[in-house]
Amino acid sequence: MVCVRPSVREIGPMTVDYYGIDEELSEEERLVRDNVRRFVSDRILPDIGRHYQQGTFPVELIGEFGELGLLGANLKGYGCAGMGDVAYGLAMQELEWGDSGVRSFASVQGALCMYPIHAFGSEEQKERYLPGMARGEIIGCFGLTEPDFGSNPSGMITVAERLSGGGFRLNGTKRWITNGNLAHIAIVWAKLNGKVHGFLVPTDTPGFTARKIDDKFSLRASVTSELILEDVEVGDDALLPGVSGMRGPLSCLSQARYGICWGAIGAASSCYETALAYAKDRVQFRRPIAGYQLVQNKLVHMLSEITKAQWLTLRLGRLKEAGKVRPAQISLAKRNNVAQALEIARMARDVLGANGIMYEYPVGRHMMNLETVYTYEGTHDIHTLIVGQDITGLAAFE
C-alpha cells in the first residue's frame, strides 16, 4: 500500500520531467541522476551561495567528487567509472542544477584534461596522471584561449621549441583558464614548428605563473586564471604524442561541449522549479501570481524549452554512445540549450521580482553564470557558424 507522509529527508525538488523521459533511461542512468542530485542537494547547495559571493571554488568538495566518480566518469580504465555518455551527461546536468562553476570544474578536469591524456597520451602519461585525477588528487587545467585569440584559437601565439639536449621550451600567455590557480598540471596547447601540440606542464615548473582573475560577475564559484609561460622547460615526456594540429584541442572541446548541453538543462530546471514554486506562493492583487496569464506564459515557455532540450540532448547522447555523433550536432545542442537556459534564467529572475536579485534564490546566480556558458567553449554565434558551415558547405568565419 502507498500512503505518504511529509518529508523525512530533504531530497531536493523533483527533476523536471513533463514527458516521462525517465522511462527512456536505464536503471543505471536513473541511479546516477538520483545519487548525484542528492549529493548536490546535500553537499553543494547549502554553501554555494556563499562561495559565489566570495568568489571561491568549494575546494573542500574535490575529494568527494573523486569518491563519487564524477571526474572523468565516462572514461574507461585508470580508476575512472566507465559510465555511458547519457549517464555521464545526467551527472553533468545535476551538477549544473547546483552551479555552473561546479559543473565547469568537472568538465575541465574530465573532458578537457583527462580526456586528451586518455585519448592522446602515452601509456606512461596515462598511468601517471589519470588515477590521481579521477580521485581528485591531481587537478588539471586546459590552456587554449589567449588574450588575443579566443574564437580563433588556431591563431595562437604560444610556442614550443625543441631543445637540443632533449625536451621543449614554452613561451606565451593563456587567458580565461578555468582551475588555473588550483591546477597541479596544465595542458598547454602551443605551436611546435607551426603546428599545434599539447604539452603536460606541471604548474610548479620554473617560469610558469598562474594569476587569478578576480572581479568577475559570472562563474564566481570557479577559479579563472591567466597562465604566463616564460621559458618554461619540460621534458620529452611532456608532449602528448597521439595528436597534432587543431584536431587535438577541438576533440576535447567536443567532449566538454557535450557535457555543457546537459548542464544547461540542469541550470534551466533549477530556475524553472524556483519560479514555479515562487509564483504559486506569491500573492499580488489578492491572487497567486501563477494564476495570471502572463506569468503562466513564462512558466509554460520555460517548461516547453526544457522539455525540448531534454529530448534533443538524450538523442545526442544516444548518438554519442553509438559512436555516430558529429561535432556540428553537438554545436547545435550547445547553442540551443545554453541560449534557452539563459532566457529561462532571465524569465525566472523576472518572475521572482525583487527577490530575483537576491543570493537567497539560485536564479540570479544561474543567470549570471549562464552568461559565461553562452560564451565559453565556443560562443553562441561561433556554433551558429559551425552548423551553418555544416549545412551549406560554406564557411562564414572569415
Partner 1 sequence: MKILVPVKRVADPDNANKVKVSDDGTKVTSDGLEWKMNPFDEWSLEAALRLTEDVSKKGMKGDDGKPLDRIGEVVLVSIGPKDAVQTIRQGLAMGAERGILVEAEDSSLDSHVVAQVLAAVAQKENPDIVFLGKQSADGDSNVAGTKLAEMLGWPLVNYATSIRTEPGSDTLTVTRALDGGVQTIEVKMPCVLTSTDRILHPESVKNGVTPEDHKYPESEGGRYASLKGIMAAKKKPLEETTLEALGVTPKRTEEYVKFALPPAREGKATVVESVDELVEKLHSEAKVL
Tell me which stretch binds partner 1 (CB under 8 A): 62-70, 107-115, 274-282, 378-386.
Answer: 62-70
- The one among 16, 44, 62, 91 contacting partner 1 by CB under 8 A: 91
For residue 151, the partner it binds in partner 1, ligand FAD, none, with Cβ less than 5 to 8 A by kind, is ligand FAD
- The one among 70, 95, 106, 183 contacting partner 1 by CB under 8 A: 70
Between vectors from CA 59 to CA 103 and to CA 358, what angle results, nearest 5°?
Answer: 65
What is the chain's percent helix, strand, coil content, to nearest 5? Answer: 55, 15, 30
Tell me which stretch binds ligand FAD (CB under 6 A): 3-11, 51-59, 74-82, 176-184.
Answer: 176-184
Tell me which stretch binds partner 1 (CB under 8 A): 69-77, 199-207, 269-277, 339-347.
Answer: 69-77
Total site size for ligand FAD, rule CB under 6 A: 20
* Backbone conformation region of residue 181, classed left if phi is above 0, alpha if psi is from -120 to 50, else beta: alpha
Q: What is the DSSP string of 344-391?
A: HHHHHHHHTGGGGGSTTSHHHHHHHHHHHHHHSSS-HHHHHHHHHHHH
For residue 224, the partner it binds in ligand FAD, partner 1, none, with Cβ less than 5 to 8 A by kind, is ligand FAD
Q: Would you say the C-alpha torsion 124, 92, 319, 386 has a positive or negative sign?
A: negative
Question: Quick check: 57 binds ligand FAD (CB under 6 A)?
Answer: no
Task: Give CA separation, 284 vs 44, 273, 278, 279, 298, in Å.
Answer: 33, 20, 12, 10, 17
Question: Quick check: 376 binds ligand FAD (CB under 6 A)?
Answer: yes
Task: Give CA separation, 288 vs 33, 298, 313, 339, 393, in Å.
Answer: 32, 15, 34, 29, 52
Question: Quick check: 113 binds ligand FAD (CB under 6 A)?
Answer: no
- The one among 125, 270, 331, 372 contacting ligand FAD by CB under 6 A: 372
Question: Quick check: 397 binds ligand FAD (CB under 6 A)?
Answer: yes
Q: Which three cell numbers stand for residue 49?
A: 551561495
124 is catalytic: no
Element (H, E) at 201: strand 195-202
- The one among 57, 142, 258, 278 contacting ligand FAD by CB under 6 A: 142
Question: Quick check: 388 binds ligand FAD (CB under 6 A)?
Answer: no
Residue 165 amino acid letter: G
Do the bridges between strand 185-192 and strand 159-162 make them parallel or antiparallel, or are there none, so unpaired?
Answer: parallel
Give the residues lining the site for partner 1 (CB under 8 A). 1-14, 27-28, 30-32, 34-35, 38-39, 42, 67-70, 73, 81-83, 87, 91
Give the residues lining the site for ligand FAD (CB under 6 A). 108, 142-145, 150-151, 176-178, 219, 224, 372, 375-377, 379, 381-382, 397
